[in-house]
Structure 1
């Protein structure tokens, strides 16, 4: 009950911020909530199942392009585009998993990176259709969701909050379910889990598909909310970002992705405003984190007494 109450309180707090934040931070928070959904997906794969991936940008881009190309060439609306993008992210994750999960550890990380780079190069090669690095803007007609004009700040924030809320509560239900406990068992001791009758390949593939669904939904939502689709979202940067969010907030904690996304977003924003060496500032912050809170902020709090944090 404590965990459920905490998650509801976080959602309520974000709703209250809708009326309190100034325009700049209001827009930033909408962006952060979508990125936090992306990080939740990564957390399912890495934080709970132990799959260290560098290919999640591929799933993000798959969702974004499924939505964007559908809107541009077939006139699909916002809701069908969001559904299509979610399914595209999960489908691509499943296809990648069928091959990549034949490896483990560092090999898995390298294989997923190779798939992501192949996806990025494919988007560049078919630039006449995808727009390549320049991308393409979404038509305003494609950015109407249930009567809400997503070109406006207020509706954009509310839709981002709705997506985040659904993703957060679904993640909480997942990790507290029987399958969620199996994922953790697979992360902690795969051999013992196999002896208990669980199929590691099947569990990991399912976790990766669920992770891809989150990433695809985030990609489609990002394109809808901010009106742009581009191959830059398939670069390795967008595979590293969710990993940083999860490591900072706490891998294997449901609220870690949000906390990490908020802190990392504003750390980058503040450091780049005051220094051209903002990557050095970020590197130092991550070094301090690894030295003093290797399980992330919420992971460390859980170890030090707040045991009920999921």
Structure 2
């Protein structure tokens, strides 16, 4: 079996497994896995910047929130149907990513991290100050009748799960295709040695800008889908916490791997979920587990699998 065939079998097998779980999981885990798939899509977007281009952002929640509010406000105040509202949400995130990229990429390293954090805080404060429309910290519920997409009621658990799986599968294979194409190779070249990539004649600024826009667009798609599938838009999703989460998921799953974001999001979600049922200090347990994992699997779950077993893992 060729390397390409192995890659396809692995990723198609993952999607097939998730599809089969739709019919056998109990209600609680069924809902959880749908949520994990949307959050993993958010992490996939983050991984394009961090894992493949080497750009560390501390403000990615702004793209997630831009997608969520672009979709939700279109439905609530403009009367849009879910399909065009989703497009508005994705376009909002892409537009914001373009603006942020053009400005933030004038910096590098720690300065880039700080600038993205400042932009994210600006978006968060804007949501709070525009409380007349966004309802600030309280947020607002998207009603069940507003969540019917092409005749499919997305408040139905099975429909919601399959919609989350569709989103996850599209972004998973789109990213897989991206990193195997010349543009993706340029991203990796920049991550490994930016100066050498520049000397080879690549337009590094333009490639980085593409990375930021692609990353922001995927994250916005996740945010818009999360709001539509789970029926809520709130300022919490624009906080620093939601910028740190995808960083943790990608580091845990394995930076620069396609399945890493999913593994990291799944691991962290259930670690917090299970430990919170044991003690109120569940974040302490999560912290200890993270330290242990970083010490003994510094390349993340998928990274260690690639290092020890599957050297062909993308």
User: What is the TM-score normalised by the length of structure 2?
Assistant: 0.97
Identify which of 241, 262, 269 aligns with 1:265.
269
After the TM superposition, which residues 204-223 of structure 1 pair with which residues of structure 2 at under 5 Å, given as runs? 204-223=208-227
C-alpha contact 1:64 1:216 (8 A) present in aligned 2: yes
> Of 152, 156, 160, which residue of structure 1 is paired with 2:156?
152
Comparing 296-305 with 18-27, greater Cα deviation is found at 296-305
Q: Give the distance between the partners of 1:194 and 1:24, measured in 2 at CA.
A: 50
Q: Aligned equivalents of 2:277 and 2:240: distance in 1?
A: 23
Q: Shift of residue 278 of structure 1?
A: 1.0
**Aligned counterparts of 1:111 and 1:197: Cα–Cα separation in 2:** 27
Superposition pairs of residues 71-86 of structure 1, within 5 angstroms: 71-86=75-90
Q: CA RMSD in A?
A: 0.8
Specify which of 10, 28, 40 is matched with residue 36 of structure 1: 40
Report what 2:255 is aligned to.
251
> Helix, strand or coil for the counterpart of 1:133?
helix
Q: Quote how far apart the aligned CAs of 1:85 are.
A: 1.1
Q: Structure 2 unaligned segments of length 5 or more: list them.
A: none
Between the two proteins, the alignment pairs up a number of residues equal to 310
Measured in 2, the distance between the counterparts of 1:62 and 1:70 equals 12
Counterpart in the other structure of 2:178: 174
Question: Quick check: 38-47 or 139-148, which moved more?
Answer: 139-148
In the TM superposition, what is the alpha-carbon distance from 1:29 to its structure 2 partner? 0.5
Once the 2 structures are TM-superposed, how far is the Cα of residue 178 of structure 1 from its aligned partner? 1.0
Of the three residues 175, 192, 199, the one matched with 2:196 is 192
1:277 is matched with which residue: 274, 281, 304?
A: 281
Structure 1 segment 1-310 matched on structure 2, within 5 A: 1-310=5-314
Instruction: After TM superposition, give the deviation of residue 112 of structure 1 in Å.
Output: 0.4
1: CA distance between counterparts of 2:84 and 2:280?
Answer: 42
Structure 1 residue 141: deviation in Å? 2.8
User: TM-score w.r.t. structure 1 length?
Assistant: 0.98
Q: Secondary structure at the match of 1:274?
A: coil
Q: Which runs of 5+ in 1 are unaligned?
A: none
Q: What is the distance in 2 between the residues matched to 1:300 and 1:140?
A: 43
